[in-house]
Amino acid sequence: MRCPKISIIIPTYNSEKYIYELFASIKNVKNSEIIVVDDGSKDKTISEIRTWGARMFEENDFYVIINQHKGPSVSRNIGIKEARGKYIIFIDSDDLVRSDVLNYICSLDIHYDIISFSKSPERKIINTDTEKFGLINEVVIHSGIPSYTAAPWGKMYSRKFILDNEILFSPLVHRGEDLLFNVEAIQNAKSILLEQYDFYLVRLTSNSITRGTDMKVLMNSKEFVKLGMKVLDSIETTMPLINNKKIIDLKRNLQKKSFSTDISYALRHNYTVYQIDDYEKWFKRNCADVSIEDIQEENVIKKIEFFLLRHNKRNLIKCYIWLINAFQQLRKFVKWC
């Protein structure tokens, strides 16, 4: 049986509008296998996958796995277990790739645990504990750097490396699982290449499997922080040269980042001020002594949000939430027109 160079893993969920364009963008990728894992779609996604998959992938191994609705983490993990390629690539169902660039990349003689691609002119090999910890720090605090983001897409992961280190996406969290996956991957990697070629095209859509409104975001934090602490604890073993104080500081920063991101998200997605108050109390009690007063944001919008919360301007907060909701409805109306 032929062993492909790359395994392209695509989790889908209610993606019928995007399947044709996605498949068209990857149909000319050579020496690859395509593994589509559907997460219990309710629309015509499965029909579209089978129709266009049969027409476009005569020269590639093409597999469709239908699963119950359990989230993208489970779908990606299924893809990892089924993959046979030397490298694994994750593609969101509403995004696209440049097959010509990907074919060129695959023609290169490359041997790294992780290869990250971007438009950044930077080309760098990361293999020391200090360099890896610096990258982890950027992923945790700033969701990465231009040449290595917290997202799993735009990267090639060695399948052997992933399996040997048992690195999977946690199904217990539904926001931030990509970040935890990459932090664990970085700390276990012996070599990481930051490459210049950019093959991945992100399309922002309203019903992406990994994007959209999440009304359970505040409840997600408990498990995210718990798992995050566990992943960062392992740095002491995987990267013994890193000072323990730096690891403690990074844990604190992960807690602050989770807290500020989730509160800001909640403000813009129909949560009440009272729900946010309860969340802050819960966070202090269960995760860390982190409060609204501790958060120092650089983002202008978040500065406004936390100013209102710090000064308990409830009426202004209600107006702010109303304006945000009105703006979102206006965007939908303009798009519909």
**CA–CA separation, 198 and 106 (whole Å):** 13
Domain with CATH 3.90.550.10 in the chain: 6-201
Q: Which amino acid is at 129?
A: D
What is the pairing mode between strands 144-145 and 148-149? antiparallel
Structure tokens at 53: 């998959």
pLDDT tens, the chain, 337 aa long: 456 799 999 999 999 999 999 999 999 999 999 999 999 999 999 999 999 998 999 777 999 999 999 999 999 999 999 999 999 999 999 999 999 999 998 888 889 999 999 988 778 999 999 999 999 999 999 999 999 999 999 999 999 999 999 999 999 988 899 999 999 999 999 999 999 888 999 986 655 544 444 556 777 777 898 899 999 999 999 999 999 999 999 998 898 888 877 877 777 666 777 777 788 777 777 776 665 555 555 555 566 666 666 665 556 666 766 676 677 666 655 555 5
pTM of the full predicted structure? 0.85
Q: Which superfamily does 6-201 belong to?
A: Spore Coat Polysaccharide Biosynthesis Protein SpsA; Chain A (3.90.550.10)
DSSP E strand stretches across the chain: 6-12, 32-39, 61-67, 87-90, 96-97, 114-117, 124-126, 144-145, 148-149, 155-158, 192-195, 200-201
Give the largest CA-CA distance in the chain.
66
* DSSP string of 148-201, one letter each residue: EESSSTTEEEEHHHHHHTT----TT-SSSHHHHHHHHHHHH-S-EEEES---EE
34 half-sphere exposure, CB direction, 13 A CA radius: 29
